[in-house]
Amino acid sequence: MDDTNLVRFMQDLVNNPEELRRYKQDPSAYLASANLSEAAKGLLSQFAAPFMAVEEVSTVFTLSIPSPKQAFSTAQAEPIPLTKTAELHAPNAPVIIEKTGSAKGDQCSLLPLSYIHVSPEKVVSFSLRIAYINPKDTTDYSYVFHISLGSVPKSVEPLAENIPVSLTTIKPLVLTYNKAITRELQVGSSYDPSSGTLKLSFT
């Protein structure tokens, strides 16, 4: 661990605002060419905000949420395809969502003030606040991330608090600290109101 080197790296950035601006524009690209050890770069990824670009991976991200009655206004048997872009946000700290360890997925819980809504025209919108415990993290610290699609009408009642949510992802996903990102949803993304399964496929 080369903390001294890191301090010097930051001192150089402070003394050169143009370099600091370049760093903030694209931290991962800047770090790639920086004269720092891999360990130091790893440390920076924990310390800094924003610290690393979102990892560019194609993944299928599935959340199973106990289906709320208010989520749809008409009986809906078929999964509803989702298009447009989903927004992901890690408001407090960087979140690394690991590749799921078991077929059943990892257990998360839904935080208060989470919403999901299906309009009569079968347009799905949601705003979910999720507490995630990284199974590889020995501290059991729960990380919070937000995921949203479209704009949920203000009249919608929030989902029940702290209900368990199952999360599966076929590849790890890294969320930058305090920097919302948008991801275009791919074909195959859907919401099944009867089972509460939200399947998000994005690159």
Partner 1 sequence: MPGSLTIVGTGITLISHITAEAQAAIARADKTFFLVTHPLGEQWLRQLNPNAESLARFYTPQRERLDVYRDITDHVFGAVQAGHTVCAAFYGHPAVFVMPTQDLVRRAQAAGYPVGVLPGISAEDCLFADLRLDPGALGCQSYEATDFLARPRRFDAATPLILWQVGVIGYFQVVDATLDAAKGLALLEVFLRRWYPMEHEVIIYEAAMLPIGEPIITKVALHRLRNAPVTAFSTLYVPPIVPPPVDAHMLEQLGLSSIDSL
Which residues contact partner 1 by CB under 8 A?
3-4, 6-7, 10-11, 13-14, 20, 23-24, 27, 44, 47-51, 91-92, 111-113, 129, 139, 141, 144, 178
The whole-angstrom distance between residue 53's C-alpha and the CA centroid of its chain comes to 13
CB of 23 to partner 1, least distance (A): 6
* 69/154 with CB nearer partner 1: 154
CB of 2 to partner 1, least distance (A): 10
Cα atoms found within 13 Å of the Cα of residue 147, Cβ hemisphere only = 22
* 29/184 with CB nearer partner 1: 29
Strand-pairing partners, residue 4, are none
* 74/139 with CB nearer partner 1: 139
CB of 11 to partner 1, least distance (A): 6
* 171/179 with CB nearer partner 1: 179
Q: How far apart are CA 71 and CA 107, in angstroms?
A: 22
Joined together, the tokens standing for residue 33 give: 């060419």
In which residue are the tokens 């809504």 written? Answer: 117
Minimal CA–CA distance to 199: which of 72, 88, 119, 79? 79
